[in-house]
Chain A
Amino acid sequence: MLRKGIALAALGLAFLAAPALANTNALPPKEAHWSDSGPFGKFDQAQLQRGYKVYREVCSACHSMNLMYFRNLGQPGGPFYEEKYKNPNDNPYVKSIAKDYQVDDIDSETGDVVKRAATSADAFPAPFPNEAAARASNGGALPPDLSVIIKAREEGQEYVYSILTGFGAAPPAGLKIEAGKYYNPYFPGGVIGMTPPLAADKVTFDDGTKSTVDQQAKDVVAFLTWASDPKAQERKQFGLGAMIYLLIFSGLLYASYRRIWRNVAH
């Protein structure tokens, strides 16, 4: 009897473990080219602007970006940076974007909580007041903060791009998709709680770029890449100088070394 029980329990465990094993068997992310990759790679500012628009009009309904401030949009390397406005707080574009949002403040006279238009010094407002509210609106799944999402996943750019464009295929036989869940072979486990967010022409690009799902996905990934490491371009530029300096310095030291040791047998 006991033996049978153990055998049954083991069988049950094996069944439980099967989907757990499948979990790690997500498809490898799709290959794609990114303009910022490599030591000399640069972001395409028009693409960053389109990507920001996708984030603002689509993703920000569910995903916060707590580490981002409106002023970041106008800093060097950012989507709306202009030579004329060294201080991003003066950038009219950034100001007008911020103005469209209402944020909480405290009336300094009465102490009441009031709403006011956001300024470039404010953070991007979060869509939900707390985790419980976010889960309640998303069928129990939590939309993660996207501030550093590209750094927070292996092969972040390819991965997020694949998730966004990976909806629509028929799930393999045996994988049960509950209501409010979707099949996405690039997501670990294959079942994601995110409604397919993108659709053709969902976002109108001001520069006339054709608004396909693929284009929207690439653009928003470019924007998220920039946001995950806004100093990456500055870092690479600085790096070039540092490398040249170190190479010359090493050369000089090597020459001195040869010279100083020239009379020593060693």
Chain B
Amino acid sequence: MSGHSTYEPKSGFERWLDERLPILRWSADHMMSFPTPKNLNYWWTFGAILAMCLGVQIVTGIILAMHYVPHESLAFNSVERIMRDVNYGWLIRYLHANGASMFFIAVYIHMFRGLYYGSYKAPREVLWILGCIIFFLMIATAFMGYVLPWGQMSFHGAVVITNLIGSLPIIGKPVTTWLWGGFAVGGATLNRFFSLHYLLPFMIAGVVGLHIWALHVPGNNNPTGVNVKSKEDTVPFHPYYTVKDGFAMSVFLIMFAVFVFYFPNVLGHADNYVPANPLVTPAHIVPEWYLLPFYAILRAVPDKLIGVLLMFGAIAALFILPWLDTSRVRSMRYRPTAKLYFMIFVLACIVLGFCGAHPPDQQVINGFATFQLLDSDLNTWVWLSRIGTLYYFAFFFFILPLLGLTETPLPTPESISEPVLSNSANAPAGAAASPEKRG
């Protein structure tokens, strides 16, 4: 943290305002002069990209809400009317629908970044937990948003997910009835989901504020994971990181634009252009791609309640991660074994995503005969999701706690500037070699 303020009022008005409401001082300290490690790589630009995504969703969402009608028999057509009759309505709607996917791409990269560089470790536990809260709220927001166009996937997705909550003991039934606003998913559900879908993004914005506050107490972590030692290690946020983040945001927007302008529907599902019909169930109900890994974990076990608990557990594990990892070395750059397990973890998450997209009893490799194991054939998506799920939990509850105690990390550099100056990240000068033999 900068310690004390470096802001100098430049005009009479600024001085006057500074004595009454130091808002310019606050902005200057947090957005301009904030000392930031000079070695942040492009993985660090996703925070700014996420802020942009939230802004895009809120602005496009508010405009959509001016034309959208949250009613069973009008919602579907009102969304189509937005695309046909509202000026640039197609742009607003495709930005919002694809924006949700972009938001999740960015948040997953941001979280893997945190995982790899140990950004959840002391003194950043609260910062990390606030991030997990944002992630959870994003899932809830996106799920409810997907219900709003009231297509077949909207409706049947809502039925599947709300029924899951119904499988919880004691509270399950009353909570589902309360969510539905009745005894089945219907008009009342749509109306309250719209209300909550409008509310949650502003709660996210609030938590983002806390997240940045919690960031600005210890300051940024960095690729070496080594604390900032002196002024030589940092540069002021502006212009150094405003320009770097700006560049990354612009490149991200190019990818975003490719989807919006040329493939606006590939990330969605064709069935959602069929108006909701409770009497016709789609052949297979799948959530949006960004929730598929959790969907796979849910379906990995035959028991519904255990499936639900595992799914929520997968998110809960993130919350307690700061106390599961026993290594005191932050960055996995200096933890070769952990790095390997991390790579497998990323792979497991991607594989789980594919598992979530396929019917559990379908073969993974077509026409490859294996044998029956317990309830299903080994060469099926359900077994692959079991392996993925097992690794997911093992990574948090077994690998990270044990590895910190047993591995021998590489020597970490004395300071951020040291590997920067010697211009090699992995072979820092010998002097720093001794202190951290054991994590």
Question: Chain A interface (Cβ within 8 Å of chain B)?
Answer: 23-24, 39, 66-67, 72, 144, 147-148, 151-154, 156, 188, 229-231, 234-236, 238-240, 242-243, 246-247, 249-250, 253-254, 256-257, 260-261, 264-266
Contacts and interface: CB of A to CB of B under 8 A. Distances in A.
Nearest to A144: B274
A39 B239 CA distance: 37
A148 B84 contact: no
A227 to B, nearest CB: 10
Given A152-B271, A266-B39, A266-B420, A260 B240 contact: yes
Nearest to B239: A260
Contact of B262 (A152, A239, A246): A239
B240 to A, nearest CB: 6
B257 A246 contact: yes
B254 A236 contact: no
B183 interface: no
A76 to B, nearest CB: 13
29 contacts: A66-B77, A67-B77, A67-B84, A144-B274, A148-B273, A151-B273, A152-B271, A152-B273, A153-B270, A156-B270, A229-B83, A229-B90, A231-B83, A234-B90, A235-B94, A235-B261, A235-B264, A236-B262, A239-B262, A242-B261, A246-B253, A249-B250, A253-B243, A253-B247, A254-B247, A260-B243, A261-B240, A264-B38, A266-B420
Nearest to A254: B247
B91 interface: yes
Contacts of B72: none
B125 interface: no
Interface of B: 38-39, 77, 80-81, 83-84, 90-91, 94, 235, 239-240, 243-244, 246-247, 250-251, 253-254, 257-258, 260-262, 264-265, 270-271, 273-274, 283, 417, 420-421, 423
A259 to B, nearest CB: 9
Contacts of A66: 77
Contact of A246 (B39, B254, B283): B254
A24 B257 contact: no
A205 B7 CA distance: 76
Contacts of B270: 151-154, 156
B271 A231 contact: no
Contact of B235 (A151, A156, A264): A264
B301 to A, nearest CB: 24
A24 B361 CA distance: 14
A243 B423 CA distance: 36
Contacts of A254: 247
Contacts of B274: 144, 152
Nearest to B37: A266
A239 B423 CA distance: 42
A265 B251 contact: no
Contacts of A240: 261
Contacts of A229: 83, 90
Contacts of A23: 283
B325 to A, nearest CB: 27
A172 to B, nearest CB: 21
A151 B274 CA distance: 9
B237 to A, nearest CB: 12
B251 A256 contact: no
Contacts of B265: 151
Given A235-B91, A264-B235, A265-B421, A67 B254 contact: no
A250 B254 contact: yes
Given A151-B265, A249-B250, A257-B243, 8 more contacts: A23-B283, A67-B80, A238-B261, A253-B246, A260-B243, A264-B240, A265-B417, A265-B421
A243 B254 contact: yes
Contacts of B80: 67, 147-148
Nearest to B235: A264
A72 B85 CA distance: 10
A231 B261 CA distance: 11
B367 to A, nearest CB: 15
B82 to A, nearest CB: 11
Contacts of A231: 83-84, 90
Nearest to B77: A67
Contacts of B244: 257, 261
Given A148-B273, A154-B270, A231-B83, A266 B38 contact: yes
Contact of A236 (B84, B261, B421): B261
Given A152-B271, A154-B270, A264-B38, A250 B247 contact: yes
Contacts of A234: 90
Contacts of A147: 80
B342 to A, nearest CB: 24
Nearest to A153: B270
Q: Which 8 A-B pairs have the closest CB atoms?
A: A239-B261, A152-B273, A253-B247, A250-B250, A151-B273, A231-B90, A266-B38, A257-B243
A257 B39 contact: no
A257 to B, nearest CB: 5
A265 B247 CA distance: 19
A260 to B, nearest CB: 5
Nearest to A156: B270
B257 to A, nearest CB: 5
Contacts of B84: 67, 72, 230-231
A239 B260 contact: yes
Contacts of A260: 239-240, 243
A195 to B, nearest CB: 22
Contacts of A152: 270-271, 273-274
A235 B81 CA distance: 16
Contacts of B38: 264-266
A151 B90 CA distance: 14
A153 B269 CA distance: 9
Contacts of B243: 253, 256-257, 260-261
Contacts of B81: 67
Given A152-B270, A260-B243, A261-B240, A39 B250 contact: no
